Amino acid sequence: MKLIMLGAPGAGKGTQAAILSERLGIPAISTGNILRSAVKEGTPVGLLAKSYMDAGKLVPDEVIIDIVAQRLAQPDCAKGYILDGVPRTIAQAESLEKAGVQFDNVLSIEISDEEIEERMEGRRFCHKCGATYHVQNAPSQMPGVCDKCGGQLEQRDDDKPETVKHRLEVYHAETEPLKEFYAQRGILRPVQNQPSIEATSKVVLEALKL
């Protein structure tokens, strides 16, 4: 299964990708996580990406296309994968097509901007392993500590309200047109966000006929 997760920032793509990854035994690939690691390690890509990310802007397509090509060449991608947060522009989608990548499904999680803005406030991530939590909807067992690796939980710099507003604008302008792009290819599966992770997961599995 080759799957793309579409949806606004904070729609729950990462959470649903992790659930599907476990169920299907294929990796979930988040360009956001790859970039955050690169920023932390201070690699050339990280140094370049940081200013875009902090401002809630998209990192240039060439950088993303390179990262994805390298990641998809890894042996664990042979049986399939879930892309979370990529493609994010028509240019990225076209580049994947040109590289011969064919997707089975493009899942689009539909959620209002108002709900996103409320939700981002409580979002936390583990700075060590990238696992995600929410202070109300998906809390860790010990506040501030990752259940998986014991790392410290933090709020992403780009989850601050002003940046979230800008990221939503970027989503509507640059990423939302991908829905039409994949609808034309007959593989768009829209699902409505539900009040809980479990309920959303249920509609996701139904949409994918799993």
**Residue 163 or 201 having the CB closest to ligand AMP:** 163
The residue to which tokens 């076209």 are assigned = 94
> Which 55-114 residues touch ligand AMP, going by CB under 6 A?
56-59, 64, 85-86, 88, 92
Tell me the three state secondary structure of residue 182: helix
Instruction: Please give the Cα distance from 134 to 140 (Å, whole number).
Output: 8
Q: Does 168 bind ligand AMP (CB under 6 A)?
A: no
Q: How far is the CB of 167 from ligand AMP (least distance, A)?
A: 6
Q: Which of 50, 123, 124, 189 is catalytic?
A: 123
Q: Does 159 bind ligand AMP (CB under 6 A)?
A: no
Q: Does 17 bind ligand AMP (CB under 6 A)?
A: no
189 carries an active-site annotation: no
Q: Does 116 bind ligand AMP (CB under 6 A)?
A: no
∠5-169-131 over CA atoms, to 5°? 40
Among 1, 24, 46, 52, binds ligand AMP (CB under 6 A): 52
Helix, strand and coil in the chain, % to nearest 5: 50, 15, 35
Q: How far is the CB of 209 from ligand AMP (least distance, A)?
A: 26
**Residue 6 or 203 having the CB closest to ligand AMP:** 6
**Residue 130 or 141 having the CB closest to ligand AMP:** 130
CA distances to 10, 27, 51, 106 from 56, rounded to whole Å, are 13, 26, 9, 24
Indicate the residue whose CB is closest to ligand AMP. 32
13 carries an active-site annotation: yes
Q: What one-character DSSP code corresponds to residue 130?
A: -
Q: How far is the CB of 118 from ligand AMP (least distance, A)?
A: 17
The residue to which tokens 């047109």 are assigned = 177
CA distances to 1, 9, 31, 90 from 176, rounded to whole Å, are 23, 11, 17, 9
**Residue 24 or 90 having the CB closest to ligand AMP:** 90
Q: Are 106 and 175 in contact (CB under 8 A)?
A: no
Q: Which of 2, 36, 119, 167 is catalytic?
A: 167
Q: Are strands 188-192 and 153-154 parallel, antiparallel or unpaired?
A: unpaired
Question: Catalytic amino acids?
Answer: 13, 88, 123, 156, 167
Could you list the residues that contact ligand AMP (CB under 6 A)?
9, 31-32, 35, 52-53, 56-59, 64, 85-86, 88, 92, 158, 167
